[in-house]
A = this chain, B = another copy of it.
Amino acid sequence: MADEGTPEVPRPGRPVRGSETGRPIMAALDLLGRRWALRVIWELHQGPAGFRELQRRCERMSSSVLSTRLEELTTARVVAGGDRYRLTPLGERLVRALLPLQEWSDAWDADLRE
């Protein structure tokens, strides 16, 4: 489904960009702080999708980057491929952890409108 080369995916327990400690939260911030990563997870929460459908949901996201992100998220066991891409139980749990963000973004909207 994707190249299994040497993809350099952040993992807890290993030093990542900006942290030698390997603290899980730092690995998570690295993984999720890559372009489109949060968005892909968010869109998959709306339901499983094939490659091209997922790309459409992300409004013209580059296919090459989508491919890379899917590989990273798959390695991280957040996403699983097969017939279509879908969130793993771990991925679902991540989305639940991210749900308060939607609420916050509405508050942010309200705040900036003042």
Contacts and interface: CB of A to CB of B under 8 A. Distances in A.
Interface string A82-114: 000000001001101110111111111101110
A32 interface: yes
Nearest to A12: B109
Interface in A16-31: 18-20, 24-29
Given A18-B60, A27-B105, A33-B33, A111 B98 contact: no
Nearest to A100: B97
Nearest to A26: B39
Interface of A: 11-13, 18-20, 24-29, 32-39, 42, 58-61, 76-78, 90, 93-94, 96-98, 100-109, 111-113
